[in-house]
Chain A
Amino acid sequence: MKFTITYLVLVLLAAGSSWANPALPLETDLDGFIHEITEKPGTDEIRTRQWVYPLQVRTPIPGGTFEVHSALMQAEQRRTVSPDSVAVIDVWGPLDTRFTGAWRLGTGGLISLHATLPTGKDSLNADEEALVRTIARNDLNFPVNTFGAGFDFGGGLSFATQRGHIGYSAGIAYVRRGEYDPVTGVANYKPGDEATLTLGIDYTWRKWVLRLSTVGSYYLKDRLGGRDIFRNGKQLMIQSGAYYEGRKLRLEGEFYSIIRFKNEQIFNDAFLYEIHDSNGEEYRLGMEVSWIPTRFLSLFGRAHVKHVTENKLPRFNTLYRGRARMFGVGGGMSISLNRAAHLVFRANRWSGHTRGGIAKLSAFNLKAALSIRL
């Protein structure tokens, strides 16, 4: 119901804008993607699938652009209970609706503000909660890792400058998170606000760019019923990359190192750092080649590696998470049907293992997107 209302609002917005000002360009993206992961811990098989149907509408506004985005998600998990029996959990519902405005500040500045309306599914029951726990796991790679949340709002401010071959940049952002009811029986949960600082440097030589960026994220305390209960560990991400951008050929190689520090939790009414770091660290390597044979067609191929280290908890602890590794290859094409309509198809396949090598893993991701300027 919520999604229907959101969808109607978006459509009415699009239509209303067009009728009010026929000259106003309005871009609409209609997408759909599926992401499925199959884990085989021993003889069992757990297949988790995520279907997402995003819709976004974008329009220029004075000095910038304005965008409304929402999506519908269906998640399904099939677990082999016995050779003859499969347990199925199926959840579907809308995601939150995000409004974003972005404005250029001269040539070297950019500011964006966003607000997320809590149109997403919340108050999950026990089965739904179990499924969301799976798609939220860091050792897997589901794109969307939760349904709805509260009313969030925030903004980001970035600046960049170029001196000869070298470009420098800095960005700050803050997100204020709103209260919501994540699962049945847990009401007024307020996730901690998030502050982010990014610093970056580029070295450009002809069509080659070498890039180094660092992103530090600081999380405030999560609260439940007005009481501090948890704080996500601070996170430091280092991204390095090399890029080549020719008119026909584009190459991209990126390496991400995500370091997550200890969480803080309640222990005997005291708010303390956890004894053992429950957050594994994460490394990602990605390479992409794009070839543009004509002005209206682009073909691309991708390869990815993701490695998550085991966390520091004892093996008997239920929150222990072993190392995981995934290798992926894929490709796709982007087609311009005309100046106002673009199509993108993408397919990726992964294989690897989780739970310290005990569980074999395979996954795929298919995406189709149509972008139309009305």
Chain B
Amino acid sequence: MMAAAIASCAASFPQRAYPPPEEPIPGLLPPIPTPDPEKLQNVAYHHYGRGDYIRALGFAYDALKAAPANPRYPILLGLIYDQGLDRPDLAVIEYRKLLGMEPSGRLAESLEQRVQHLRRLAYQRQARQRVFETVASDGARMDLAVFPLEPVGSVAPPPGLTIALVDMVLQDLAGPGAGIDPLQLHIYHNEFARHRPDAGPSDFARWIRASKTLTGRLMDLGDHRVRITLQVFGRDGGLLWEGPPVTANLGDLQTLRNALSGQAAKGLNLPLPADYPPRPFKNPVNLLVHARALSDYVGGDVPTALRALESLRRFEPRSTILDRTLTWARRDMAGANRLPDLLKAYRSLGNRPDPLDAVHRRLMATHALTTPTPASQTGSETTNPYKPPVSPEALP
């Protein structure tokens, strides 16, 4: 009789809800995700393992949509883009989503390293694609670009100085919230120069199509003295602004940096930091060694750059520019080998609970103990025995 009743229920109500669990506050149940994200994730991983990355992506995105707080799904998407589809630019987006979920220290470190490695690869790839494009693309329109200073005069300036001075200014302009990524800007001009070594700043400005391109002219006056004229080019390659010449001694880098940064901020109409950090380098030799290592790094020779930067670190323990470049190189070097770690983390995260479900469970357990449901409601003995005042010991 009962079986027949149940069978008839099943036939007449195909979309059946589960019987309600005995929740302390039933009205506050979390929404039940439909369909099951864990199943979608399993299917996605199955396709990923078989090399069917497009299908894997579809299921992984569905899983992420069903459980956006689960850190396992962005990491799977990142792995599909990173290892499967060889799209470092898209993998970076997924890994950054995971970084936003504040993962544990070791996973966060692995992710940051991998992200740095992929950022460099992605920028290099984007720059190379643009170099070979016959028609300029508006897809990645930028507000700011930089190009090394153009040497003028009869004396050739020391190698690397043309980019070292621009980098110093860029570091000052790229403060928090400025939206300037020095790595991207250096990779773009480096790739352009590699493929079109004879092109000038105007050509670069037309190619990059940034709203403003910061560059200038550099004259070596001898005896460590230089004269620099900063320039800003527009998207069409025309000169938008030219500052007054700044003449300074390379031995006084702080004064030179302050003057150039002030000029650049004026030319680009950008705010300057209220306080300049300490002088970028102790002497011009270190400045040039750093510039050489920076060129190696943005050119893709990470081991050489890292060796040079590590050596320079001993002489420049407090240089913020060196810290920045050294961090890039260190993370990039380590990040190149972090894929197995991320795969391991993905598998390990599979043992973790969905954070929203786990918090809900813990919260309900605590609240049920803190404010117990009346026993007349549950029909079971309460866990918090109440001694009523009719108890003989409670009465006088």
Contacts and interface: CB of A to CB of B under 8 A. Distances in A.
Given A156-B367, A171-B370, A298 B19 contact: yes
Contacts of A335: 6, 9, 19
A160 B355 CA distance: 11
B38 to A, nearest CB: 10
Interface string B375-388: 11111111111111
Given A133-B390, A319-B392, A296 B19 contact: yes
Task: Give the interface residue-count category, chain A.
Answer: 35 or more
B154 interface: no
Contact of B396 (A146, A206, A224, A237): A224
Which size bracket describes the interface of B in this complex? 35 or more
B137 interface: no
Interface stretch (B270-278, B285-293, B357-365): B357-365
B28 interface: yes
A282 interface: yes
Interface in A42-65: 52, 54, 56, 58-60, 64-65
A266 B396 contact: yes
A210 B21 CA distance: 19
A33 B377 CA distance: 10
Interface string B80-120: 00000000000000000000000010000000000000000
Contacts of A256: 383
Nearest to B5: A335
A189 interface: yes
In the complex, which of the residues A69, A145, A367 has the most CB atoms of chain B within 10 Å of its own CB atom?
A145
Contacts, number: 247
A145 B386 contact: yes
A272 to B, nearest CB: 14
A211 B361 CA distance: 10
B337 to A, nearest CB: 24
A289 interface: no
B366 A204 contact: no
B390 A146 contact: yes
Contacts of B378: 143
Contacts of B16: 294-296, 336, 338-339
Interface of B: 6, 9-10, 13, 15-20, 25-28, 36, 104, 350-353, 355-356, 358-367, 369-371, 374-396
20 contacts: A64-B28, A65-B26, A102-B27, A112-B25, A160-B366, A162-B358, A167-B358, A167-B361, A168-B362, A169-B365, A196-B370, A202-B365, A215-B384, A229-B394, A230-B395, A237-B383, A266-B396, A278-B393, A297-B19, A344-B19
Interface of A: 27, 29, 31, 33, 35, 52, 54, 56, 58-60, 64-65, 67, 69, 71, 73, 95, 98, 102, 104, 107-110, 112, 114, 124, 129, 132-133, 136, 138, 141-146, 149, 154-156, 158-165, 167-173, 182-183, 186, 189, 191, 196-198, 200, 202, 204-206, 209, 211, 213, 215, 217, 222, 224, 229-230, 232, 235, 237, 239, 247, 256, 258, 263, 265-266, 278, 282, 284, 292, 294-298, 318-319, 334-339, 342, 344, 346, 365, 367, 369, 371
